Structure 1
Amino acid sequence: MMVVAGETQPEGSNLPDRKSILVRWGFIPSWVKDPNSWPLMINMRSETAVQKNSFRIAMNHFRALVPASGFYEWRKVDKNKRQAYWIRPRKGGVVAFGALMETWSGTDGSQVDTGGLLTTQANKTLKPIHDRMPVVIKPEDFGRWLDCKHYLPHEVEDLMQPVEDDFFEAIPVSDKVNHVANITPDIQERVEEDLAPQKSEPKQKKKTDNGDDSGGQLSMF
């Protein structure tokens, strides 16, 4: 679900100036001819979003917010192991991530609303886990971020910065979160952080034709 600016309302209207919509996860620019040939773009770098052709229309007309209680991230321990974290606001509550959306239209008249998150460099708290993090838009900046009519992209660039170092807390969780079938609350329970590299299985020595297991070297015994 994404929150976007509503239609401009007449003065004195009680209608909301924001609305929530469901979108297909994975941003597709409206000019793409074949969405099957377009990569699944769920994260977009905020540093280049203003200039890049793929996001120019959305940055000018379709900025959005994604409400969430937190997000998951994985820290690479070695090539075979990753530690999962549940990352949430330290003070609790819901956070709003900066996002972009756009409606893709097919030649048959079909339309699909699509969207994805904007990311920025990780702050000091999250950098040991991953070098990127979602853009956080504070409540006092919701209006400016969503108001594409009065605020151009370069006028909201200052909002696409890493959030304060103490805003989030990272809670190590079990690898249950790695399986989409696991949806019970226990996937967010804290576990002991395991950053020890995974031990590799010892390699089996090759046996020679005479049954020697010394790796091909002649045995003295």
Structure 2
Amino acid sequence: MRQLFAVDAAQDALGNAEPLPAIFPKGMSPIIGLAADGSRWMAQAHWGFVMPPVSKKTGKPIQPKAVNNARDDKLRTSGFWRKSFEERRCLIPATSFCEAKGHNPATYVWFGVTAQGARPPFALAGVWRSYKGNYGGGELREMITSSMVTSTPNALVKDTHPDRMPVILHPEDYTQWLTGTPNEAFALLRPFPADRMVIHQSGEGLKSDHGGLT
């Protein structure tokens, strides 16, 4: 991943990270962000911006929610997302992503991109921010949190998920996403071409990708 995303070894906080069969909401996953000096760093991030809710009955804080996805049409209008989109964009490495179709039972469809190799890696557009507070049974935690940006689906994904799909970035656009102005970054939020994608596997009970996530 350091080679793919131009991260210096000194800026890699992952260590000897193992491939992951799946990354679920509220789980930890690698992201690539931009340091103040313009270099790229890589670290583990909690998937989901933490939103600490308050009990309507008692008025006391309750277990925080994790907001996993940031809609492209909310990035510049919602105060929840705006500052992160303007100042803290990131790349989220993956080899595939999953969408569920139907219920009881659901069919899990794993999508990827076409390139060299059986499961070529790619990057999803993401945003990040720091969180410090109570989380997970009242435990005080300090961590990086991330959320992936979604847009309208292309023809391949639409049959499974008719409303949204994660934004896959072209490799030549990684720098623009990380360093560009908000307008330049927003211009990249479009469906990835369907003819450059593939379904790796689909079926019932396939919540984990047998090929793994990078």
Q: TM-score, normalised by structure 2?
A: 0.69
1:121 shift after superposition: 0.7
Structure (1 or 2) with the larger CA radius of gyration? 1
Which residue identity does 1:84 align to in structure 2?
Answer: Y
1:81 shift after superposition: 3.0
The aligned counterpart of 1:115 is: 146
Structure number with higher relative contact order (C-alpha < 8 Å, ≥ 6 residues apart)? 2
Contact 1:28 1:115 in 2 (8 A): no
Distance 2:156 2:86 in 1: 31
Stretches of structure 2 that go unaligned for 5 or more consecutive residues are 1-29, 55-60
- Aligned-partner SS, 1:144: helix
Which residue identity does 1:28 align to in structure 2?
Answer: V
- Aligned-partner SS, 1:53: coil
**Pair 1:75-2:115 in alignment:** no
Runs of 4+ in 1 over 6 A off after TM superposition: none
Alignment of 1:89-108 (within 5 A): 89-91=113-115, 92-106=119-133
Distance 2:70 2:169 in 1: 15
- Aligned-partner SS, 1:159: coil
**Pair 1:21-2:53 in alignment:** no
Higher strand share goes to which structure? 2
Stretches of structure 1 that go unaligned for 5 or more consecutive residues are 10-16, 188-221
1:33 shift after superposition: 8.0
Which residue identity does 2:71 align to in structure 1?
Answer: R
Percent identity of paired positions between Structure 1 and Structure 2:
22
User: Size of the alignment, in residue pairs?
Assistant: 169
Match of 1:86 among 110, 117, 127: 110
Which residue identity does 1:67 align to in structure 2?
Answer: P
Distance 1:100 1:125 in 2: 25
**Pair 1:157-2:186 in alignment:** yes
1:106 shift after superposition: 3.3
1:23-56 per-residue CA deviation (whole Å, 9 max, x = no partner) reads: 1111137xx6878554321111112111110011
1:173 shift after superposition: 2.7
